[in-house]
Amino acid sequence: MQTDIAIIGGGLSGLALARHLARNLAREGCDFQLFEARSRFGGRIHSLQHDGAAFDLGPAWFWPGQHRIAALAEALGLERFDQYAKGAVSYESETGEVFRNMGFASMQGSWRLKRGMGSLIKGLAEQLPSERLHLDHEVQAITQPGEIRFRSGQRWQARKIILALPPRLAAEISFTPALSREQLRALQNIPTWMGGHAKFVALYKDAFWREAGLSGDAMSRSGPLAEIHDASAPGALSGQKPEPASPAALFGFVGTSAVARQGQGQEAKLTRAALAQLSRIFGPQAAHPIKTVLQDWAQDRHTATPRDLIPPNQHPAYGLPVALHSIWGGRLSLCVSEVAPEMGGYLEGALAAAEQTAADMKKELI
């Protein structure tokens, strides 16, 4: 089977690139196919669906000034809303002592999407021809003449191959001829954004903490959650209500290391500790959620590699290293947030990468 352009990866950057190609290059007779290793699209964008509401297990926010994601959400007919930030911010000391009004709501002014970030993925996929989108296609090997071999044994031939997946995952593909030492090192040295992170989400019947004058924001030196936010759906109500419009939620970034989270029984242990912590900070009602979910991206083999078990301690200076320019004479290239020309690591960066890649490819065809 053959195609002009093969996009490897069905996360935000891959789907956004496919949308650009479908819109701008179809008239040039340019065919593309998109291949995703998972059984779902979205990559690190993943939303828990519960009782008609969505709760993000990956990235959840975007901000004023990020015009690409705002424009995409509007084009897809998606509604945004403000991150809840009213009320006191909490701080938990190393000894578990809780203090109030010890700072400001760090995500105040950010936006979320009413149906979760997963609605971006759903909207993009629905705009693309289904016969060009392939799930459960994990790449095993790529050759310079353009042959792509999948773990299923299936093979495709492409004139140009775009790797829309984290660079460290790209480094694990078998390339023939092998990439140069500089190219391989460049791929391996780019940290996977969120690669070492885990999120814990607890759903509740109502946002009882709001009734107590708390914003849902908390910072902790005790853990296991280091940073906590209100993750409620926009229709969540405060206080005891017989039929709340939609579930409420708290979520936290797990502060324990990815290495410590490995092993049998660790998820249950972390869940117990997280609920105990939420109870200390927000009161005994927090010990009785409707549902809890732990999304550990470091243990997801389609997201992270062993190099990502120790995440960077600050936002990396992302961008495309010189060594990764014009791989195989331009036949192989990357399109992912970590190599974006701006806003690397963010959702906006994924869209910037897709925009730049599509523009470059259009120039090639003119």
Give a yes or no: residue 309 inside a domain: no
The CA angle 288-294-296, to the nearest 5 degrees, is 165
**287 is written with which tokens?**
């010990």
Clarify whether residues 24 and 58 are in a common domain: no
132: in domain: yes
Whether 297 and 327 share a structural domain = no
Residue 15 belongs to domain with CATH number? 3.50.50.60
Query: Taking the complete model, does pTM exceed 0.85, yes or no?
Result: yes
- Residue 3 sits in the same domain as residue 41: yes
Question: What is the reported pLDDT for 252?
Answer: 98
Instruction: Look at residue 249 and tell me if it is in a domain.
Output: yes
Domain of 61 in residue numbering reads as: 49-116+196-302
Tens-level pLDDT at each residue, the chain (366 residues): 999 999 999 999 999 999 999 988 766 678 999 999 999 999 999 999 998 899 999 999 999 999 999 999 999 999 999 999 999 999 999 999 999 987 788 899 999 999 999 999 999 999 999 999 999 999 999 999 999 999 999 999 999 999 999 999 999 999 999 999 999 999 999 999 999 999 999 999 999 999 999 999 999 999 999 999 999 988 775 554 444 457 899 999 999 999 999 988 999 999 999 999 999 999 999 999 999 999 999 999 999 999 999 888 889 999 999 999 999 999 999 999 999 999 999 999 999 999 999 999 888 765
CA-to-CA distance for 76 and 71, rounded, in angstroms?
A: 9
pLDDT of residue 363: 81
Final residue before a domain boundary, out of 302, 332, 351: 302
Residue 308 within a domain: no
Same domain, 134 and 122: yes
Residues 348, 271, single domain; the answer is: no
Residue 289 amino acid letter: P
Same domain, 40 and 133: yes
Q: Please tell me whether residues 145 and 178 are part of one structural domain.
A: yes
Q: Are residues 134 and 268 in the same domain?
A: no
Grouping H, G, I as helix, E, B as strand and the rest as coil, residue 181 is: helix
The verdict on residue 62 lying in a domain is: yes
Q: List CB contacts of 77: < 8 A, sequence separation 6 or more.
A: 123
Q: Is the dihedral of CA 309, 313, 318, 324 positive or negative?
A: negative
Q: Is 307 a domain residue?
A: no
Is there a contact between 62 and 111 (Cβ–Cβ < 8 Å)? yes
**271 and 204 assigned to the same domain:** yes
Residues 173 and 273 in one domain: no
Task: Tell which of 271, 302, 333 closes a domain.
Answer: 302
- 74 and 204: one domain? yes
On whether residue 25 sits in a domain, the answer given is yes
Of 302, 333, 355, which residue sits at a domain end? Answer: 302
* Same-domain status, 77 and 211: yes
- Residues 158, 137: contact at Cβ < 8 Å? no
Q: Is 116 left (phi over 0), alpha (psi -120 to 50) or beta?
A: left
Please count the structural domains in the chain. Answer: 2
81: domain CATH number? 3.90.660.10
